[in-house]
Amino acid sequence: MLTTLMKYEFKAVGRLLLPLYGAWLIAAVMLGLSIGNSGNDGSVLFITLSSILYAGACISAVILTAIILIQRFYKNLLGSEGYLMFALPVSTGRHIANKVVSGAVWTCAGIIVAILSGLIIAVTIEGFTSVFENMDFIVSDIKYAVSREPSVLLVIPEFIIVMLAASASFCAKVYAAIAVGHQWGNHRVLGAILAYIGFGIVETTLGNLISMISDFGVIDFILDLLDSMHYMTQMHLSMLMAFFAVAVVAAIYWFICWILLDRKLNLE
Amino acid sequence: MSWTFKEGVPIYTQLIEQIKMHIARGEFSPGDQIPPVRDLAMDAGVNPNTMQRALAELEREGLLYSVRTSGRFVTEDKTKLDELQGLLAEKYIEDMFISLRKIGMNKEDIVAAVEQHAKGEK
Amino acid sequence: MYVLECNNLSKSYGSKRALERIDLQLGSGRILGLLGPNGSGKTTLIKLAEGLLQPTDGQILIGGKVPGVETKAQIAYLPDREFLPDYMTVEQLLRYYADFFQDFDMERAEMMLKNLNINKAQRMKKLSKGTKEKVQLILTMSRDAKIYILDEPIAGVDPAARDYILKTIISNYSPDSLVIICTHLIADIESVLDEVVFLKEGRVVLHRNADELREETGKNIDGLFREVFRC
CATH number for the domain formed by residue range(s) B11-76? 1.10.10.10
- pLDDT reading at A100 higher than 80: yes
pLDDT digits (tens, 9 = 90+) for A106-146: 999 999 999 999 989 888 887 777 767 777 777 888 888 88
Name the amino acid, one letter, at A13. V
- Residue A208, domain member (yes or no): yes
Residues A119 and A233 in one domain: no
Closest residue in B to C32 (Cα–Cα): B47
Q: Which of C30, C32, C112, C170 to mutate to test the interface with B (most CBs of B within 10 A)?
A: C170
pLDDT of C182: 94
Name the amino acid, one letter, at A26. I
Residues A168 and A244 in one domain: yes
- Residue C60, domain member (yes or no): yes
Q: Which chains touch C (3 or more CB pairs under 8 A)?
A: A, B
Say which CATH number the domain at C43 has. Answer: 3.40.50.300
Residue range of the domain that includes C16: 1-74+146-156+178-231
pLDDT (tens digit, 0 to 9) for every residue of chain B, 122 residues total? 778 888 778 899 999 999 998 888 888 888 889 999 999 999 999 999 999 999 999 999 999 998 888 889 999 888 888 888 888 889 889 999 999 999 999 999 999 999 999 888 76
Question: Band of the pLDDT at A40, cuts 50, 70, 90?
Answer: low
Chain C residues whose beta carbon lies within 8 Å of the beta carbon of residue B49:
29-31, 194
Chain C residues whose beta carbon lies within 8 Å of the beta carbon of residue A15:
87
Closest residue in B to C28 (Cα–Cα): B49
Domain count of the fold of chain A = 2
- pLDDT reading at A42 higher than 70: no
pLDDT digits (tens, 9 = 90+) for A152-191: 888 888 988 999 999 999 999 999 999 999 988 788 899 9
- Residue A138, domain member (yes or no): no
With CB atoms and an 8 Å threshold, state whether C87 touches A12: yes
Q: Please choose, from the candidates C150, C26, C133, the residue with its C-alpha nearest in 3D space to the C-alpha of residue C78.
A: C150
Chain A residues whose beta carbon lies within 8 Å of the beta carbon of residue C53:
265-266
- Residue A142, domain member (yes or no): no
Domain count of the fold of chain C = 1
Domain end, chosen from A133, A160, A175, is at A133
pLDDT of A41: 64
Q: Which chains touch A (3 or more CB pairs under 8 A)?
A: C
pLDDT digits (tens, 9 = 90+) for A209-251: 888 877 777 777 777 777 787 878 888 888 898 899 899 999 9
pLDDT of B122: 63
Name the amino acid, one letter, at A37. N
Beta bridge partners of C183: C35
- Residue C228, domain member (yes or no): yes
Which of C193, C211, C219 lies at the smallest CB-CB distance from B12?
A: C211
The DSSP call for residue C143 is: B
Chain A residues whose beta carbon lies within 8 Å of the beta carbon of residue C77:
83, 87
pLDDT of B70: 82
H or E element in which residue C149 lies: strand C147-151
- Residue C184, domain member (yes or no): yes
Which of C171, C194, C214 lies at the smallest CB-CB distance from B49?
A: C194
Q: Which of A3, A16, A85, A88 to mutate to test the interface with C (most CBs of C within 10 A)?
A: A88
Beta bridge partners of C195: C32, C209
Residue range of the domain that includes A63: 14-133
Residues A86 and A161 in one domain: no
- Residue C93, domain member (yes or no): no
Average pLDDT, chain A: 89
Q: What is the mean pLDDT of residues A29-35?
A: 88
Q: What is the pTM of this model?
A: 0.89
Residues A125 and A197 in one domain: no
Chain B residues whose beta carbon lies within 8 Å of the beta carbon of residue C170:
38, 41-42, 45-48
- Residue A145, domain member (yes or no): no
Contact between B16 and B58 (Cβ < 8 Å): yes
With CB atoms and an 8 Å threshold, state whether A90 touches C82: no
Q: List phi, psi (to 5°) of B4.
A: -135, 145
Which of C13, C50, C96 lies at the smallest CB-CB distance from A87?
A: C50
Q: Does C58 touch chain B (CB under 8 A)?
A: no
- Residue A70, domain member (yes or no): yes
- Segments of chain C scoring below 50 in pLDDT: none
* Pairing label, strands C195-200, C147-151: unpaired
- Residue A8, domain member (yes or no): no
Residues A23 and A106 in one domain: yes
Which of B38, B47, B53 lies at the smallest CB-CB distance from C31?
A: B47
- pLDDT reading at A39 higher than 80: no
